[in-house]
Chain A
Amino acid sequence: MGIEDLQHNFLTGRIEDLVKWARRNSVWPATFGLACCAIEMMSVGAADYDLSRLGMEVFRASPRQADLMVVAGRVSQKMAPVLRQVYDQMMEPKWVISMGVCASTGGMFNNYAIVQGVDQIVPVDVYAPGCPPSPETLLHAILTLHEKIRTGEITRRPGSTVAAGEQATGGWVPSVPDAVRVATPR
């Protein structure tokens, strides 16, 4: 790669790779910790499992400044419209990690009060199972998201502004060979 006549002062590449590199190395999460998983998310941001090395230690309070929404915890019926409103306020490109089993499927609370999976409300990119997922699991989920950003195409993304509940893939085929679903390391 490069133009041989010049004296190696230039690096060339595709704009797309550059943009993706910038995007995945500074994904700023929005504070959306709800329940027990929020404590584990805070632990990931703290000393022993450092999120700062991935550029993610700034948890933006305002969703307008955030890229990633980590839905950490169980989403109740009263919270569901708030969740959707915060998601809608985020600017593109945005991603969602569903952290924990309560956010992924409703978890152990299969009852009237809990939304059975946050993907009924917002489209989810990565699911991290566990109750709560240990910090290593969340880190693996974040790294999987980075991989997805790296190998995905930025011009065609799964629909994220359609009505709640629609799992629109629109013919988009993931170029990541493994399933996006994270296997728990332990």
Chain B
Amino acid sequence: MSEHDEHEDERSVPELDPDAELRARVAVEAAALRAETSEGAQELTPRGDTDPTELRREVGAVLRLPEGTYVDPGDIDIERRDDETMIINMGPQHPSTHGVLRLMLELDGETVLRTKPIIGYLHTGMEKTAEELTFVQGSTNVTRMDYLSPLHNELVFSLATEALLGVELPPRAVWIRMLMAELNRVSSHLMWMATNGMDLGSTSMMIYGFREREMVLTFFEKTTGLRMNHNFIRPGGVAADLPDGWEDDVDVICETILTRTYEYDELLTGQPIFRERTEAVGNISAEEALALSVTGPILRSTGVPWDLRRTMPYLAYDKLDFDVIVGTYGDNFDRYSVRLNEIRESIKMIRQIVEQMPPGDYRVQDRKVTPPPRGRIDESMEALIHHFKIFTEGFRVPEGEVYTAIESPRGELGCYLVSDGTSKPYRMHIRGPSFVNLQALPVLLRGGLMADAVAVISSVDPVMGEVDR
């Protein structure tokens, strides 16, 4: 491992280095693990020469080769035997991998045998950054993880912080959060339908999806100030109250999007080419999904009716009437229809929220947690001090740990938060649903064709921001 010492000053910035020997030992073990995995040395032998134990390992779907493996074109034998498999690389810069995902695919002709998803191309060190930012600033950091549903990231972080703080939110704050979360689910699923349609060839779906999404984003801009990465849901409530006339805006959104979902049915659901390309493609069974810790629309498409909004309700979801959408076969088409119908269910929920929105405060009134209104700063010394303390030092959170999970459009989004009593998190770990769902990708792709790989990746709906954090 000595050749890596040259890179040390460029790459890592260790402040203290008390455990060089330990690191060396870990590195040696990791290298040993890489050279020969428990599945045997991963060399490509022709099928005819492969002995039965080697063939048996092909039952697994995950390819275990080092990421840097490549074949020099000069090494390829011109007289290629028919029973050889080929390893190709897809990504990270690829129009259809939904961000910077790299796949190493082992192909036998056009059939995909094993896959290795390689991630880390968007690793931003957000968990380390979270230890440097206060709890007040935390939602600006967390919101950029799953950038298609930023309000859900903020929500889970705020719920975790409030669980440690022990504050109880006013009802209006809770219902505003639910409204924003459901609108975000609609916009995220519309974005998914747009990109899924595009990956399957339907450019019109891309344009329609973005057109509808613009309506929701305009509402977000009116309420939160930004189209994306809003920093709106903060520990203690929300940043601002809903603007006047919001009920009419939301009604227009609901009406329009609901009628347009029936247009998408005409465009895609009944269309023979779409059905052929998505039915019985990318199958996964419920047992496999549970074993791989897959949650969200993928799990529901296999028939398991697990939706955290129904089974372990948070905010005020137990007061809303909605259905949990389940599929049957766990294929691409089921995931498509689960998400399409979830848009309709979310619209239904949004309408109920509009009817039942309670009046009151939009954030908790505890001045140790939420800043005072700007006007009060000129009048009261105490308000000025609270404002100063909250925005420089932040509020202190009692010592403890919590794991909070919500249902994001991709699955179970969890936040494991450890606090040591100061104003900055000691450790914040976000359980990104896409990070875990990507483990299902080798199982989904196995036995399928190369051309289906794009459709399957799209139906898993990975967002690389939360995969890599």
Contacts and interface: CB of A to CB of B under 8 A. Distances in A.
Contacts of B156: none
Contacts of B206: 46
Classify chain B's interface size. Answer: 35 or more
B228 A111 contact: no
A115 to B, nearest CB: 11
Interface stretch (B141-149, B253-261, B263-271): B141-149
Given A34-B99, A77-B11, A108-B141, A131 B229 contact: yes
B95 A36 contact: no
Contact of A114 (B125, B194, B213, B465): B125
Given A34-B99, A34-B100, A35-B464, A43 B214 contact: yes
Interface in B83-105: 92-95, 99-100
A74 interface: yes
Q: Which of A63, A86, A109, A113 has the most CB of B within 10 A?
A: A113
Contact of A76 (B122, B129, B194): B122
A109 B465 contact: no
Contacts of A79: 92, 100, 121-122
Contact of A34 (B12, B95, B122, B210): B122
A81 to B, nearest CB: 10
Nearest to A102: B124
B457 to A, nearest CB: 15
B211 A39 contact: no
Given A79-B100, A112-B125, A36 B228 contact: yes
Interface in A128-166: 131-132, 134
A42 to B, nearest CB: 7
B99 A38 contact: yes
A132 B12 CA distance: 28
Q: Which 6 A-B pairs have the closest CB atoms?
A: A46-B210, A113-B125, A36-B147, A61-B95, A47-B211, A111-B125
6 contacts: A32-B93, A63-B93, A76-B123, A77-B11, A111-B125, A134-B227
Given A31-B94, A63-B93, 11 more contacts: A34-B99, A35-B465, A46-B211, A47-B211, A78-B121, A79-B122, A82-B121, A109-B126, A112-B12, A113-B123, A132-B228
